[in-house]
């Protein structure tokens, strides 16, 4: 490798995103064992016909395989 190509390779470090990804995350304030999950959803969640159609279109084959045709 020539000196110019070695210099370019040092400038174009394709693995530098690994170090920057770790720095982008939010630091943990609390220990994860202290977290709790709260279910505050209503008993019945309203779903529009359009939303149902989207789920049926994207997940219909998987749901038919798991649950059988309805």
- For the whole model, what pTM was predicted? 0.36
Q: Tokens 């505050």 sit at which residue?
A: 40
pLDDT at residue 54 in the model: 94
pLDDT at residue 26 in the model: 66
Residue 1 and residue 9 in contact, taking contact as beta carbons nearer than 8 Å:
yes
**CA–CA–CA angle 51, 55, 59 (5° rounding):** 175
pLDDT at residue 16 in the model: 65
pLDDT tens by residue, 6-56: 666 666 766 666 665 555 566 666 666 777 888 888 889 899 999 999 988
């Amino acid at each position: 490798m020539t000196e110019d190509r070695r210099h370019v390779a040092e400038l174009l470090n394709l693995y530098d995103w690994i170090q920057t990804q770790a720095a982008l995350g939010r630091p943990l304030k609390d220990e994860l064992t202290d977290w709790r999950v709260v279910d505050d959803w209503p008993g019945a969640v309203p779903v529009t016909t359009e939303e149902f159609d989207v789920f049926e279109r994207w997940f219909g084959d998987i749901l038919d395989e798991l649950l059988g045709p309805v």
